[in-house]
Amino acid sequence: MKFGKEFTSQMVPEWQEAYMDYNFLKAVLKDILRFIQGNPSAPIASTPKGTLRRKVSLYRAFSGLTNRCRDSPRKKEDEAILVSSDQQDGSEGHHHTLFLTPSGEGDDCKVVFFKRLDNEFDKVVNFYKMKAEEVMEEAEELSKQMDVLIALRLKVEKPVVRLGGGAYLRNLASIGASSPSISYPLNSRKPGGQHMDAIQEVEMSSEDKNEEEEEERRGNEPETRNHRNANGGKVDIQGFRPASLEILNHVKLNVLTETPVSTLRRLLMCTTTDLSFSKEELRKAEELMIQALIEFYQKLRLLKSYCFLNQLAFSKIMKKYDKITSRNASKAYMEMVDSSYLGNSEEVTRLMERVEATFVKHFANGNHRRGMNTLRPKAKRERHRITFFLGFFIGCTIALVLAIIVLIHVRNIFNSKGSNQYMDNIFPLYSLFGFIVLHMLMYSANIYFWRRYRVNYPFIFGFKQGTDLGYREVFLLSSVLAVFTLAGVISNLEMEMDPETKSFGEITELVPVALVIIVLLIMLCPVNIICRSSRYFFIQCLFHSLCAPLYKVTLPDFFMSDQLTSQVQAFRSLEFYVCYYGWGNYKTRSNKCSESQVFESFYYIVAIIPYWLRFLQCVRRMIDDKDKMQAFNGFKYLSIIVAVAMRTTYDLKMGVTWKILAAASSGIATIIATFWDIVIDWGLLRWNSKNPWLRDKLIIQNKVVYFVAMVLNVVLRLAWMQTVLGFREAPFLHRRTLIAIVACLEIIRRGIWNFFRLENEHLNNVGKFRAFNSVPLPFNYEDEDKDG
């Protein structure tokens, strides 16, 4: 792989504009090369074609095996450039490159190259310095949080410390309460007991070494730590000082897990977050600190990678310049790079080491391997068996589809007497799985294109590293479900029944409900099989959506609710399951659902529930974020609720009046929803954009794709009005089939919407250089609350 592609592939997607523009500089060098090749008099190292059997570099004078680090002698007059900086007050300043010797033809292109190179370097250095300052400030805050957490550990656990000579101090917390200053405690907890061996803690503590070095700098003798006698026994410890507990009087707890009950309690009564010093509070505080340190460490790793990649890019581009122009400019420029803040700053590296040591000591019981496995991201391995099973189940799916087509044609099923009975009773049962499979296929396609165009969907959704599913995994799951569904369809295609009882086989009639039960059991299975992390993430988002507005709304939650609004027919199919197997006679494939008032009532409710939940989420976001746009978004869902109610009423009762009301409400809802999709969710139709009627930043280079997507969105939005516009039945399609086709078109529209919605979200993150999730910290300081 060429460096340019590798450089692009390793970029942090949200920081891509802050990286050195390698491709542009490479294009300028190509212009210089074309100019030189067009001017034979220009100085360029060349040899007659075919005269060399080896690369030119293999004829260069050998520098010896031991002289790699020694600079080759170079005369001052050989230096091609001089890089200067207008540094002021220790700041990095702007860099300027000057030519020391005239280079002849093509100077204009070279001036453009170095001017852009200097600008790119200033951009990289300023961004790196800004991010380094941010992480240092964040490190200070995390240090304060660790002080409180350690004091809380001491207060809650009240550990027993063994001192020299067999003496015991049983109330270490009382010593900490009387300590006038805060110091890092020696606190690596041992699971299974409240005893804390102070000597072992001193040996593990890296802070003690820092304290000794500080005391030696001040000219004092360091306090005596732990000593061992000739037999290896432990003797007295001097200078052991636990953490001060006074800091606990100035903080409040921020670890209350948001639940529907806690939300209602917060609304009905004023709840406090004062520390009660319980073990549950300590456990939750530790969990939040672990999450915060992991996220902080990831930020440090990416910042270090940013520094390394840009240094490598400057080195590569300067070597290309030397090769094209036969000048010796790379060494002088790279010396400047190495001496800059980008090259000689070690704050990030030292901070990474400090975070590693802290995490291993305080959260991994000193187990370095376990601590680092938690801190470092787990690379997801591509498994060949996934590809194998994917091909296998796709083949089975195709075979089953062909088998169904052959059976229908051979037995002339659709022209038989029981065809209407089958379409009214069996088809809705299996159409549920068809909707689910199609939605999974669209999501699989979304993942493929998100990865192809470098949309950072795992970060946007908040997936744990290494647990997000690839498009192959999702495609595999959908193909497995399709195989079982199609096998069930074949089992129910048989129209044979007992001529006396006119009943069908009980086992085959129970296949659809058995499939539903199996899918639910797999979703709720606690065993770590079949993508447990993704299943639980799905269930969590689904639960948060169903409990709206009792949970704070995050992007995964309202994204899930948007998916539910496109599965109205699936919910109605679930309602039909209850009716068909509850009080219908599934053995004779008959039901009286349409005659039930309860069924009609729930026919309204299940269609309105997804939009109502989405409306409640808009209300919660409007209150939490003070975002007025969410009021308009909520009005959009209210208009859809009215339209769905009118359409459902017309579908059940018919009549000209209901048809007019349904058409009017559906038209208004369609216009509002289409405008919101394209302008707000996708960020398109910007007439003052540099890309007319699109937006300034586009991920897909072919602009036609966006216009096609907008047209498709409008057309597919209109498809749901088919029941209002009079196309209730087609001459060659059953009414159930037509309803299923319209539902599938809505799922396809949602899949297209998903890609451009996340593209817009990703570009917003890129514009704000937002590449990390904000993790709530466990403690709030009272002084900060007063200032706020």
Cross-strand partners of 23: none
Condensed to tens digits (0 to 9), the pLDDT of residues 636-663 reads 999 999 998 888 888 777 778 888 888 8
Residue 204 near residue 215, CB atoms below 8 Å = no
pLDDT band of 185, cuts 50, 70, 90 = very low
For the chain, the structural domain boundaries read: 1-45+78-156+252-377, 384-772
**Whether the predicted pLDDT of 233 surpasses 50:** no
Residue 97, CB-side half-sphere exposure with 13 Å CA sphere: 25
pLDDT at 749 (0 to 100): 95
- Determine the pLDDT at residue 11: 87
Cβ burial of 8 (10 Å; 0-12, 13-18, 19+) is: middle
pLDDT beyond 80 at 578: yes
What pLDDT sits at residue 521? 94
pLDDT at 613: 95
Q: If you average pLDDT over residues 401-408, what whole number do you get?
A: 91
Residue 100: pLDDT band with limits 50, 70, 90: low
Question: Side chain identity at 720, as an amino acid letter?
Answer: W
CB burial readout 172-198, b (16+ within 10 A) else e: bbebbbebeebebbbbbbeeeeeebbb
Per-residue buried b or exposed e for 93-109, using 16+ beta carbons within 10 Å of the residue's own CB:
eebebeeeeebeebeeb
- Quick one: average pLDDT of 178-183? 44
Structure confidence by residue, pLDDT tens digits, 197-207: 433 343 344 44
What 3-state DSSP class applies to 396? helix
Q: What mean pLDDT, rounded, does the chain reach?
A: 79
494-503 residue pLDDT tens = 666 565 656 7
* Helix-helix angle 22-37:107-157, to 10 degrees: 160
The more confident residue out of 274 and 766 is 766
Q: Residue 574: which pLDDT band, with cuts at 50, 70 and 90? A: very high
Q: List pLDDT tens digits, range 416-466.
A: 777 788 888 889 999 999 999 999 999 999 999 999 999 989 889 988 877
CA 320/CA 101 separation, integer angstroms = 19
Higher-pLDDT residue of 517, 625: 517
Instruction: State phi, psi for 592 to the nearest 5 degrees.
Output: -120, 35
Give per-residue pLDDT as tens, 63-93: 555 544 444 444 444 455 666 666 555 555 5
Cα gap 179→173, rounded to integer Å: 10
pLDDT band at 234; cut points 50, 70, 90: very low
For the chain, the straight-line distance linking the first and the last C-alpha, in angstroms and rounded, comes to 52
pLDDT one-digit tens code per residue, 541-557: 999 999 988 888 999 99
In the prediction, which pLDDT does 69 show? 43
Report the candidate in 403, 294, 402 with the shortest Cα–Cα distance to residue 352: 294
pLDDT in tens, 655-694: 788 888 888 888 899 999 999 999 999 999 888 888 888 9
